Amino acid sequence: MTEVEAQVPDSPPCVVWEDEDLLVVNKPPGWNTHAPAPFAGEGIHDWFKHREPRWARLAIVHRLDKDTSGLMVFGKTPEANRSLTDQFARRQVNKHYVLVTDRPVRRESFTILSDIVRVGDRYLARPVGQGGDRAETHFQVLRREGALTWVHVEPVTGRTHQIRVHASSEGFPILGDPLYDGTPSRRLHLHAAALSIRHPRTQALLEFQQEPDFATPASDQLRRAFLSPATTTAFRRRQGAADGTPAWYEDQLGEWRLCWGEEWSPEHLESDSAARGTYFKPWLRQVRSTPAAEASPRAVAGEPAPDRFTVRENGVNYELSLKEGYSVGLFLDQRDNRRRFLTRHVASGFSLYRPEDTQPEVLNCFAYTCGFSVCAALGGARATSLDLSRKYLDWGRLNFQANGLDPNAHDFIYGDVFDWLKRLAKKPRRFAVIVLDPPTFSRSREHGDFRAESDYGHLVSLTLPLLAPQGVLLASSNAARLLPERFCAEVRAAVEGAGRRVVQDHYVPQPPDFPISREEPAYLKTYWVRVS
């Protein structure tokens, strides 16, 4: 395929090819090229750029629509970016797509040349010379299968929605493209199947091909794109309306599947040989006052799970249980944040620790089963886990042991977080990183009620005396009504109110297997800040 030696160390499954200059990926349907707004879900570019130092300078040189799947190339260096941009501008890049339509395609091979202009949310094709951007697309029928026609498409130009607009204007809108009058379907049947470019350094011709998969649900393709089953066996399978299943959610927990909603509804389930058993839990409004036996999920299909079982996440082992109450022992939406402790890398240009932090100290408040602490320890830090539950701290010790870590080399503090923050502030010990991921609501005899929506800034203020100069605060909340803009502003105000300064920051939404949509808004917010 190429004269350039390429290796893909620790890469997600969607990576097709990579060397020091280029990254080629097979983008799944349902994932934006880039974040559509500052606090929206990450696009595939954002997710890669902030994942590893080797992708820190990743640049977008061409785009695919959110619901279009297929091949994309990113530049990894300024030189590669300039070369790719020039190749696209000179139309030296060959791009080939496949579409499927359920409308008649009356010609076997033809070219559409038009101007394209935006009108509201749509783009329209106009005769050449009537205003807009010139667009040219070649079409050729590949095969006809009953009511469906598969068409090969080669866009000469690269206008927004160009293929979709030209197909619709010719009378065969793409299946699954209601914006352009296509028949509704589970996904947009448009795929970038082939791409050829010149390598920016060697000028070798690089040719890539990726066959379309219109049969696998888009939600499954999204998860398979960035989750490797060899290293991660726990993830969100269905995220309500964002995955086309309103008020219905599913987690894959190793060999078991956990579902929840208003009531048990097996019609949502799809055949899955990987699930030995399925559990269900209904929404509970008063989880804290419900006995563990009543709050625990109940088995509804297949084999029952053992009292404890192990899952893997980014290569880390965690002990879970479906019989210990409403929560199973791991909050899956914090996976990417836990990974940042493994790699010691927060975002592009943002290292977790300072170079002089040879064995940094990490304080994990509201530690639960100590997932952040385990990852911090695996990343070379000494972890202090603080929680009001002895049971969960003991569970955390098991997680340490499950990863070959000696719990005795780390600290586990049982008690009220607010009380201990004040007590620890009186000691000379300071932490390089402090994790704040409190429950949305908590109550203690000494300190009364804590509500994340109104009290998060006060919590940050209590924490800051323990944070070393140039230390990093991980501030996170799943309070849905606490909007990201206000959340970040409250954290910054607390820092400034303490006479300190935010010198570096990075906002992180929930991970891609918790997709965000208008029908299923974001809830998880994480703000990483380095404080002077």
Say which residues have a Cβ less than 8 Å from residue 229's Cβ, sequence separation at least 6: none
Q: How many domains does the chain have?
A: 3
Active-site residues, by number, are: 65
Token reading at 258: 């956990």
Residue 434 parent element (H or E)? strand 431-436
- φ and ψ of 468, to 5 deg: -65, 155
Packing angle between helix 390-402 and helix 371-378, nearest 10 degrees? 30
Largest CA distance in the chain: 80
| pLDDT higher than threshold 60 for residue 9 | no
- Tell me, yes or no, whether 29 and 119 share the same domain: yes
- Tell me, yes or no, whether 80 and 203 share the same domain: yes
What is the mean predicted confidence (pLDDT) over 485-508?
Answer: 97
517 in Cβ contact with 491 (< 8 Å): no
pLDDT of 1 reads 39
Global pTM reads 0.93
Between the ranges 38-42, 219-223, 291-295, where is the mean pLDDT highest? 219-223
- Tell me, yes or no, whether 172 and 291 share the same domain: no
Q: 427-477 pLDDT, tens per residue?
A: 888 999 999 999 987 777 666 788 888 899 999 999 999 999 999 999 999
Among the candidates 161, 182, 209, a domain finishes at: 209
- Tell me, yes or no, whether 184 and 237 share the same domain: no
Packing angle between helix 417-425 and helix 452-463, nearest 10 degrees? 20
Is residue 488 in a domain? yes
- Using CA atoms, how far apart are residues 312 and 294, in angstroms rounded to an integer? 27
| pLDDT higher than threshold 50 for residue 267 | yes
- Tell me, yes or no, whether 203 and 74 share the same domain: yes
pLDDT of 358 reads 87
Tokens 């010790």 correspond to what residue?
Answer: 397
- Tell me, yes or no, whether 295 and 342 share the same domain: no
Hey, CA dihedral for 274, 280, 286, 287, is it positive or negative? Answer: negative
Q: Spell out a b/e string for 440-459, using b for 16 or more CB atoms within 10 Å of the CB, else e.
A: eebeeeeeeebebbebbbeb
Radius of gyration of the chain (CA): 25
What is the mean predicted confidence (pLDDT) over 150-178?
Answer: 97
Is residue 219 in a domain? no
User: Domain with 483 in it: what CATH number?
Assistant: 3.40.50.150
Is residue 23 in a domain? yes
- Tell me, yes or no, whether 31 and 132 share the same domain: yes
- Tell me, yes or no, whether 510 and 415 share the same domain: yes
Q: Domain limits at 495?
A: 331-531
| pLDDT higher than threshold 70 for residue 271 | no
pLDDT confidence band for 296 (50 / 70 / 90): confident
pLDDT of 286 reads 66
Q: What percent of the chain has pLDDT over 70?
A: 96
Is residue 10 in a domain? no
- Using CA atoms, how far apart are residues 165 and 242, in angstroms rounded to an integer? 25
pLDDT of 287 reads 64
pLDDT confidence band for 344 (50 / 70 / 90): very high
- φ and ψ of 8, to 5 deg: -125, 80
Token reading at 304: 């029952």
Range with lowest mean pLDDT among 140-144, 177-181, 272-276, 512-516: 272-276
User: Domain with 51 in it: what CATH number?
Assistant: 3.30.2350.10
Is residue 136 in a domain? yes
Sheet containing strand 234-239, strands side by side? 234-239, 248-253, 256-261, 277-282, 298-302
511 in Cβ contact with 483 (< 8 Å): no
pLDDT confidence band for 68 (50 / 70 / 90): very high
pLDDT confidence band for 8 (50 / 70 / 90): very low
- Tell me, yes or no, whether 242 and 95 share the same domain: no
| Mean predicted lDDT score pLDDT of the chain | 93
| pLDDT higher than threshold 50 for residue 2 | no
- Tell me, yes or no, whether 205 and 234 share the same domain: no
User: Domain with 281 in it: what CATH number?
Assistant: 3.30.750.80
pLDDT confidence band for 403 (50 / 70 / 90): very high
Is residue 3 in a domain? no
Is residue 233 in a domain? yes
Q: 189-232 pLDDT, tens per residue?
A: 999 999 999 999 999 999 999 999 999 999 999 999 999 999 99
- Tell me, yes or no, whether 53 and 185 share the same domain: yes
Is residue 316 in a domain? no
- Who wins on pLDDT, 422 or 270? 422
Q: Assign residue 287 a region: left if phi > 0, alpha if psi is -120 to 50, beta otherwise?
A: alpha
pLDDT of 275 reads 87
- Tell me, yes or no, whether 133 and 249 share the same domain: no
Token reading at 84: 């790719």
